[in-house]
A and B are shown apart, each in its own frame.
Chain A
Amino acid sequence: MSATVKDYVVAPPASVAAAWPRHQVVAFLLMVVLLAIAPFFLYPIFLMKALCFALFACAFNLLIGYVGLLSFGHAAFLGSAGYVSAHAAKVWGLPPELAILAGTATAAGLGLVIGALAIRSRGIYFANITLAFAQMVFFFSVQVKFTGGEDGIQAVPLGRMLGVLDLHQTYTLYFVVLAIFLIGFVIVYRAIHSPFGQVLKAVRENEPRAISLGYRAEHYKLLAFVLSATLSGLAGGTKALVFQLASLTDVHWTMSGEVVLMTLLGGLGTVFGPAVGAFIMIGLEHWLAQLGAWLTIVQGAIFVVCVLTFRRGVVGELSRILRKPL
């Protein structure tokens, strides 16, 4: 993904970090294989949930890991896309691919609006502005009729993907979701390992210097924000179809907190970290569901431990041991 050339005073760095280093390709292939055989051993619906959240976390990580902006309002994108996709499939009768696209587009638009307003701030103020907007989206979701309020949009129909793939078949649905995840994952990867990604890194490390070199830092940050929002929307739209349900949970601020936790646990700024973090968290939720409030305690404890001693996250630590970026 290349930025508009006219923004450059100096040409972009000639050697972009080799986009497909071997160990990452190996890790990627390993991930694909594991995910491909997983539904035959684990409950597919659980896996699909994990995949949607993994995509959400990857999208979120784009913003915090590579731009250095902590958004506390990403649930707005996940949830609003979910509502629009669910509505599109159920009420407008759109086929699944168009429904998901509609949701994704909504998140992109919302991302543009919120991003344009929020991007001027930094640090805690940025986090607060994104939270404020997310709360407004939440309020809107509660008030507006089409979202169904507390009930949410239920019984979202599945239909046939691209007219051919019958999503009522669990395995078909699974592989469609897997494909969507992989597409999103690759988009994030390409965004990071590209001239665009390099500029983002420069902006994160020393914004005034990047600006003095002629890069319009605000534009880059906004673009990253919109991309992050769009892919979060893709995750949200897909999730609404998988569960055949869109609810207020997905726009509540605690959902924003969860994605932070997943990404932190997996490893901020790593390629595979967010996905790993998402799988671990969803697995934990699943496993601890019987224990009620213990889940919150464990999540809190993980936060604490991660921040104090495990800041690199699972994949980050693994990278450090292997001495190769993952």
Chain B
Amino acid sequence: MLIVKLFTIAVTLVLAAGAAHAQISDGVVKIGVLNDQSSLYADLTGQGSVVAARMAVEDYGAAAKGLKTEIIFADHQNKADIGSQVARQWYDAEKVDVIVDTPNSAVALAVNQITRDKGKAFLVSGAATSDLTGKACSPNTIHWTYDTWALANGTGNAIVKTGGDTWFFLTADYAFGHALERDTEAVVLKTGGKVVGKVRHPLNTQDFSSFLLQAQSSKAKIIGLANAGGDTTNAIKQGAEFGVVKGGQNFAGLLVFITDVHGLGLQTAQGLIFTETFYWDMNDKTRAFAKRFAERNRGIHPTMIHAGVYSAVTHYLKAVDALKSDDGTRVIAKMKEMPTDDPLFGKGTIRADGRKMHPAYLFEVKKPSESKAPWDYYKVRATIPAEQAFRPLDQGDCPLVKK
């Protein structure tokens, strides 16, 4: 029973309290995958991230190197209180050493704080808020895959430069949506574009017809979707219905994943432009990974979040192995010291503010005629080098960064 198990763990730990420092706690590196397993983000993170973590451990050859690892997972249901509760429990009672993934910025921020308080490690792949390497930066956290700044800049910049210079924003009315809108608007204005209108819709809106009508009457060339998940796909789907693209306007998805495109179908999603940091069909290494991943994940191909989990766990294990310790603060510091290299993101670095650096890509969704197989959805429009993809180190207000 859970009660007995917890009691036993508690007693064992009390007895083992006098263990030395420079060693793996309890002899096991315990990795906790905390994400959304059952709702909005379940397909783009969910069980796929657990699979990615497991693959990372296996590919690293942890067992052969004498590193005992264990992976557990839990569903935070997109609720900050459940997420923080699980995190606390994991760190206090279940001796988890590192938490990975955690989509949903609110949950990530909460876990970020708890991880810092307890001196553990937090590798964020799923969440978007650039505050994680800004105001809320921490010596115990690394923000891996992407952030709102990268999305706003990648997509905003590239689109304005290719002629999309008048924008209308369709924004989800919550902090994440506002942030995305604000960051993208700043980029659009900076590159000489104009914002001709914006409208805020409640989160989880079913029907966008009214908002799309407003977007159409604005005659903006680009309709920026500062939202995610079901809101984005609904807007696009209904946009097709109302002839938005046929009427000469284009959608710019500010946060789109391959699973969204899969859900929409190419007929509806074609022409959509957005920024991501990984695509399974970029090169042979990513293709090989995707094949193995899909076999273990019900055929669903890896999103950039899954790839980020794989990459982060791989690098984490390297650091733990080098230090021969899983003390959170020290491992994160080591991870920042070591340059990264993995088959999915290639070579990269981690900055002092916890920002993992790698190139970003501007993708466009293929037309149905251009796609030769399921999941063959993207073509690359532009590559953004790492230094330009992410917010400059000195602009983040991160207290860890010495001015």
Contacts and interface: CB of A to CB of B under 8 A. Distances in A.
A45 B73 CA distance: 19
Interface residues of A, number: 29
Contacts of A30: none
Interface stretch (B80-88, B180-188, B274-282, B364-372): B80-88
Contact of A41 (B6, B80, B84): B6
Given A42-B6, A245-B84, A292-B37, A154 B109 contact: yes
Contact of A289 (B75, B173, B176): B75
A214 to B, nearest CB: 47
Interface string A105-146: 000000000000000000000000000000000000011000
Nearest to A41: B7
B76 to A, nearest CB: 9
B81 A154 contact: no
A150 B175 contact: yes
B7 A152 contact: no
Interface string B44-76: 000000000000000000000000000001110
Interface string B1-34: 0110011000000000000000000000000000
Given A245-B110, A249-B80, A293 B38 contact: yes
Contacts of B88: 45
A325 interface: no
A289 B110 contact: no
A92 interface: no
Given A247-B81, A293-B38, A43 B73 contact: no
Contact of B75 (A43, A149, A290): A290
B77 to A, nearest CB: 8
A243 interface: yes
A38 B174 CA distance: 40
A12 interface: no
Contacts of A155: 113
Nearest to B113: A155
A289 B86 contact: yes
B209 to A, nearest CB: 21
Contact of B106 (A49, A151, A293): A151
Nearest to A45: B88
B105 interface: yes
Contacts of A45: 85, 88-89, 92
Contacts of B73: 290
A95 interface: no
A172 B174 CA distance: 36
A287 B2 CA distance: 8
A291 B6 CA distance: 19
B93 interface: yes
A245 to B, nearest CB: 6
Given A151-B109, A247-B80, A41 B3 contact: yes
Interface in A270-295: 286-287, 289-293
A154 B7 contact: no
B314 to A, nearest CB: 25
A159 interface: no
Contacts of B74: 289-290
A287 B74 CA distance: 11
Interface in B174-233: 174-176, 178, 202-203
A154 B110 contact: yes
A142 B203 CA distance: 10
A151 B85 CA distance: 15
Contact of A43 (B92, B106, B113, B202): B92
Interface in A31-56: 41-43, 45-46, 49
A45 B86 CA distance: 10
Contacts of B202: 142
Interface in A43-96: 43, 45-46, 49
Given A41-B7, A42-B3, A151-B175, A243 B81 contact: yes
A243 B37 CA distance: 22
A193 B103 CA distance: 49
A43 B42 CA distance: 28
Contacts of A49: 85
B79 A249 contact: yes
Given A41-B3, A292-B38, A149 B81 contact: no
19 contacts: A42-B3, A43-B6, A46-B85, A143-B173, A149-B175, A150-B176, A151-B106, A151-B175, A154-B80, A154-B113, A243-B81, A244-B84, A245-B80, A249-B79, A249-B80, A249-B82, A250-B81, A289-B86, A292-B38
Given A43-B6, A247-B81, A289-B74, 6 more contacts: A41-B3, A43-B93, A142-B173, A244-B84, A247-B80, A247-B106
Interface of A: 41-43, 45-46, 49, 142-143, 148-152, 154-155, 243-245, 247, 249-250, 286-287, 289-293, 296
Interface pairs A-B: 4 shortest CB-CB: A292-B38, A292-B37, A149-B175, A150-B174
